[in-house]
């Protein structure tokens, strides 16, 4: 052997081009100031949600609080879709369908079988997840946009079922007679009484997403989305990883559906159409796909804009479409990335 | 002689008329650095891809540590202890340098969805163990200062080192290196060479495909020479350097170049 490396030589700082592999570092693991984004994101989340608790006091008005409930349900929907789409790179065009599936499961169990919403909610989550499993197994085996197409088809089928299975769903007239959640004899049948429940569930879902992202499975998901060949090489089963998150996020949509149906005590098919699924995708992109806070912004827009344009229903879609074009061209990382983009423009890319 | 870690038996790979690899047999002993060389089109990459699980052989068998692997998907081979790097880099460009290496730890974690959701001791212990492993590797390769940098912002040479660190994070028994020096200036190639020699001294078995003759000759214990998909010589650097078939097929051309 011509090359006999010196035994226990220090890192080849002097003999090899250390500038190529970064500044020579004499640091030990303990001394690295690891930016623990997890802790700070969790603190921000708790602070933000605590602030939201003030809403019923600041605006003790049933309209505002009902919007608050809708907003928090939308947060669950958009955040779960963002986990799948933004972090996992898998675009589902059936998220509103899963939302509706959860709503009808929980609602039908209540109306037809008298099963209380507290049991309906987890059942909706599990059954919605199960339906995603059945679609995901064939669709995720194939690379490419098969999941988008399969979910689009599933959403269309669901819509037909919501409309046609009149004995179960009430058909186009909607599912009537859904009961609210209740604690003992206290029915959560007003906006103000529902708010704490929706608040808590949305907080739990946001925490769940954060915990998943900061774990081995969450990193595996991002790795698969970023580079499937690389993920494969380090032993990640990309099919299972994608399937797992597809099922989990569908389950979250099912939870949102159960909340929705018992909060509104009503469900009707048009809420859960393909249109809704597409708008949810738009909201993920608008807020900031693959950012933790993007869905909160997306949910805010999704909830507020239709209220502002109540009289111009058609303008709403146009506005969303236009907004998405502008945001995607000007701030590709979404509105959540706006501060960083502005700072970057101002200070980062100054011509020298 | 101890039992071979990697054993290739009568391997064939045919692409519609073209025999990329023809009836090839060889083995890699534990603790060895084995290089596969040959002129362009010799079948080196095809061979490498069959061992890594990217290309399926037409016939023949590959055994790793006694387990037949040629029908297993890539991630199963990784589970058995085969890690690799790529000639054209397959790093996670949108993730940080630290995260890239932590993904490499994937196989040594146990925390699934439920434990992650509960964020109990199991998750925290695993995260800190992964972080320690990753930093130890980054320190070793002088990349620790870049831990929080997005991997796509590294230089090409740094990415090559990062990919190697990610492969090592899975604590493999066999390291497959696909042209580790390709595209690097001589100084950086020597740095990679040094890293490989150090790893091997610590007991790592390495199989590499490489064009850089200086690197191959200085590093390898054992060299396999292919030409037109066929075995033409195998042995030490001195042996293959003097082998007449090798000279005519390969070295003759490059030495004059």
**Cα–Cα distance measured from residue A306 to residue A239, given in angstroms and rounded to the nearest whole number:** 38
**Cα–Cα distance measured from residue B180 to residue B209, given in angstroms and rounded to the nearest whole number:** 8
Residue A344 has a CB neighbour count (10 Å cut-off) of 11
Same-domain check for residues B71 and B186: yes
Same-domain check for residues B2 and B73: yes
Q: Give the end of a domain, one of B115, B138, B171.
A: B171
Q: What is the mean pLDDT of residues A202-219?
A: 94
pLDDT of B75 reads 93
What's chain A's average pLDDT? 84
pLDDT at position A214 over 80? yes
Same-domain check for residues B70 and B181: yes
Q: Do A215 and B123 touch (CB under 8 A)?
A: yes
Question: Chain B residue with minimal CA distance to A12?
Answer: B191
pLDDT at position A24 over 60? no
**Cα–Cα distance measured from residue A239 to residue B217, given in angstroms and rounded to the nearest whole number:** 41
Helix (H) or strand (E) holding B61: strand B59-64
Q: Give the end of a domain, one of B171, B188, B204.
A: B171
Q: Which of A218, A277, A223 is nearest to A250 (CA)?
A: A277
- For B142, which of A25, A222, A231 is closest by C-beta distance? A25
Q: Do A16 and B130 touch (CB under 8 A)?
A: no
Q: Do A34 and B73 touch (CB under 8 A)?
A: no
The string of pLDDT tens digits covering residues A74-83 is 999 999 999 9
Q: What is the mean pLDDT of residues A7-13?
A: 38
pLDDT at position A185 over 50? yes
Q: Is B164 on the interface with A (CB under 8 A)?
A: no
Q: Is B232 on the interface with A (CB under 8 A)?
A: no
Q: Supply φ then ψ for residue A12, to 5 degrees.
A: -65, 60
pLDDT of B253 reads 54
Same-domain check for residues B166 and B181: no
The string of pLDDT tens digits covering residues A261-319 is 999 999 999 999 998 999 999 899 989 889 999 999 999 999 988 888 777 767 777 78
Q: What is the mean pLDDT of residues A130-144?
A: 89
Alpha-carbon gap: B216 to the closest alpha carbon of chain A (Å): 11
Sheet holding B59-64, edge to edge: B18-28, B6-15, B59-64, B67-68
Q: Give the end of a domain, one of B171, B195, B217.
A: B171
ipTM score of complex:
0.89
pLDDT of B17 reads 79
**Cα–Cα distance measured from residue A334 to residue A94, given in angstroms and rounded to the nearest whole number:** 22
Q: Is A126 on the interface with B (CB under 8 A)?
A: no
pLDDT at position A117 over 90? yes
pLDDT at position B251 over 80? no
User: How does residue B2 score in pLDDT terms, banded at 50, 70 and 90?
Assistant: low
Q: What is the mean pLDDT of residues B35-43?
A: 85
Whether residue B84 contacts residue B51, with contact meaning beta carbons closer than 8 Å, is answered with no
Domain ranges, residue B199: 1-81+177-257
Q: What is the 3-state secondary structure (H, E, C) of chain A?
A: CCCCCCCCCCCCCCCCCCCCCCCCCCCCHHHCCCCCHHHHHHHHHHHHHHHHCCHHHHCCCHHHHHHHHHHHHHHHHHHHHHHHHHHCCCCCCCHHHHHHHHHHHHHHHHHHHCCCHHHHHHHHHHHHHHHHHHHHHHHCCCCCCHHHHHHHHHHHHHHHHHHHCHHHHCHHHCECCCCCCEECCEECCCHHHHHHHHHHHHHHHHHHHHHHHCCHHHHHHHHHHHCHHHHHHCCCCHHHHHHHHHHHHHHHHHHHHHHHHHHHCCECHHHHCHHHHHHHHHHHHHHCCCCCCHHHHHHHHHHHHHHHCCCCHHHHHHHHHHHHHHHHHHCCCCHHHHHHHHHHHHHHCCCC
Q: What is the DSSP letter of B184?
A: -
Same-domain check for residues B71 and B34: yes
Q: Is A144 on the interface with B (CB under 8 A)?
A: no
Whether residue B83 contacts residue B167, with contact meaning beta carbons closer than 8 Å, is answered with yes
Q: Do B86 and A233 touch (CB under 8 A)?
A: yes
B33, B53, B80, B92, best to mutate vs chain A, most A CBs in 10 Å:
B92
The string of pLDDT tens digits covering residues B70-114 is 999 999 999 999 999 998 899 999 999 999 999 999 998 888 888
pLDDT of A157 reads 95
**Cα–Cα distance measured from residue A126 to residue A253, given in angstroms and rounded to the nearest whole number:** 11
User: How does residue B118 score in pLDDT terms, banded at 50, 70 and 90?
Assistant: confident
Q: Which of A161, A182, A158 is nearest to A171 (CA)?
A: A161
Question: And the tokens for B56?
Answer: 């399926």
For residue A250, which residues of chain B lie inside 8 Å, CB to CB? none
pLDDT of A346 reads 59
Same-domain check for residues B6 and B52: yes
Same-domain check for residues B96 and B147: yes
Same-domain check for residues B53 and B122: no
Q: Is B148 on the interface with A (CB under 8 A)?
A: yes
Higher pLDDT, A250 or B120: A250
pLDDT of B68 reads 93
- Structural domain tally of chain B? 2
pLDDT of B257 reads 38
pLDDT of A8 reads 40
Higher pLDDT, A252 or B257: A252
pLDDT at position B183 over 60? yes
Sheet holding B174-178, edge to edge: B82-84, B174-178, B205-209, B33-37, B222-227, B230-235
pLDDT at position A29 over 60? no
Same-domain check for residues B221 and B250: yes
Residue B68 has a CB neighbour count (10 Å cut-off) of 12
Q: Is B114 on the interface with A (CB under 8 A)?
A: no
Q: Is A6 on the interface with B (CB under 8 A)?
A: no
Q: Do A230 and B91 touch (CB under 8 A)?
A: yes
pLDDT of B116 reads 86
Same-domain check for residues B112 and B165: yes
Q: Do A16 and B73 touch (CB under 8 A)?
A: no
pLDDT at position B26 over 80? yes
pLDDT of A158 reads 94
Same-domain check for residues B118 and B2: no
pLDDT of A106 reads 95
pLDDT at position A162 over 60? yes
Strands B230-235 and B222-227, by their bridges, are: antiparallel
Helix (H) or strand (E) holding B101: helix B97-104
Same-domain check for residues B164 and B224: no
Alpha-carbon gap: B69 to the closest alpha carbon of chain A (Å): 14
Q: Is A332 on the interface with B (CB under 8 A)?
A: no
pLDDT at position B190 over 50? yes
CATH of the domain at B25: 3.40.50.300
Higher pLDDT, B49 or A29: B49
């Amino acid at each position: 052997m011509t090359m006999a490396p010196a035994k226990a030589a220090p890192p080849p700082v002097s003999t090899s081009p250390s500038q190529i592999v970064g500044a020579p570092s004499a640091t030990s693991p303990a001394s690295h100031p690891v930016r623990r984004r997890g802790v700070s994101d969790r603190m921000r989340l708790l602070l933000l949600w605590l602030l939201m608790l003030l809403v019923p006091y600041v605006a003790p008005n049933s309209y505002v609080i009902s919007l608050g409930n809708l907003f928090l349900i939308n947060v669950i929907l958009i955040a779960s879709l963002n986990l799948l789409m933004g972090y996992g790179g898998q675009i589902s065009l059936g998220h509103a369908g899963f939302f509706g599936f959860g709503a009808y499961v929980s609602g039908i169990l209540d109306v037809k079988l008298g099963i209380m919403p507290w049991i309906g909610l987890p059942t909706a989550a599990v059954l919605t997840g199960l339906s995603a499993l059945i679609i995901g197994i064939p669709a995720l085996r194939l690379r490419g946009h098969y999941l988008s197409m399969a979910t689009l088809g599933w959403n269309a089928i669901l819509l037909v079922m919501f409309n046609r299975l009149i004995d179960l769903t009430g058909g186009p007239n909607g599912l009537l007679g859904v009961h609210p959640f209740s604690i003992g004899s206290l029915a959560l049948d007003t906006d103000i009484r529902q708010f704490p429940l929706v608040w808590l569930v949305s907080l739990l879902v946001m925490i769940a997403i954060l915990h998943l992202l900061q774990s081995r499975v969450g990193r595996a998901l991002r790795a698969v989305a970023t580079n499937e060949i690389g993920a494969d090489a380090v032993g990640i089963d990309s099919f299972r990883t994608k399937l797992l998150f597809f099922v989990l996020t569908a389950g979250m949509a099912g939870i949102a559906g159960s909340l929705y149906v018992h909060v509104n005590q009503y469900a009707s098919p048009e809420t859960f159409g393909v249109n809704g699924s597409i708008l949810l995708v738009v909201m993920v992109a608008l807020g900031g796909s693959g950012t933790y806070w993007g869905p909160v912004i997306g949910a805010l827009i999704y909830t507020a804009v239709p209220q502002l344009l109540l009289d111009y229903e058609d303008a709403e879609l146009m506005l969303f479409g236009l907004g998405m074009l502008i945001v995607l061209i000007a701030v590709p990382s979404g509105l959540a990335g706006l501060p960083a983009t502005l700072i970057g423009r101002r200070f980062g890319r100054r011509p020298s | 002689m101890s039992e071979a870690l990697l054993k290739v038996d009568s391997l064939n790979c045919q692409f519609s008329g073209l025999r990329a690899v023809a009836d090839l047999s060889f083995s890699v002993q534990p603790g060895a650095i084995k290089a596969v060389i040959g002129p362009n089109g010799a079948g080196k990459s095809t061979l490498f891809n069959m061992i890594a699980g990217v290309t399926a052989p037409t016939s023949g068998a590959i055994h790793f540590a006694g387990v037949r692997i040629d029908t297993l998907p890539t991630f199963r081979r990784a589970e058995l202890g085969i890690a690799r790097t790529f000639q054209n880099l397959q790093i996670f460009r949108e993730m940080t340098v630290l995260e890239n290496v932590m993904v490499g730890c994937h196989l040594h974690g146990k925390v699934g969805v439920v434990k992650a959701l509960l964020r109990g001791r199991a998750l925290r212990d695993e995260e800190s163990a992964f972080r320690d492993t990753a930093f130890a590797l980054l320190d070793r390769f002088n990349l620790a200062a870049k831990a929080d940098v997005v991997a796509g912002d590294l230089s090409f040479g740094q990415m090559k080192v990062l990919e190697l660190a990610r492969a090592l994070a899975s604590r493999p028994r066999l390291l497959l290196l696909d042209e580790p020096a390709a595209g690097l200036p001589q100084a950086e190639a020597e740095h990679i060479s040094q890293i490989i020699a150090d790893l091997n001294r610590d007991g790592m078995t390495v199989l590499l495909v490489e064009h850089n003759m200086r690197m191959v000759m200085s590093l390898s214990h054992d060299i396999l020479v292919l030409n037109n998909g066929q075995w033409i010589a195998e042995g030490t650097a001195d042996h293959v350097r003097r082998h007449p078939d090798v000279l005519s097929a390969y070295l003759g051309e490059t030495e004059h170049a």
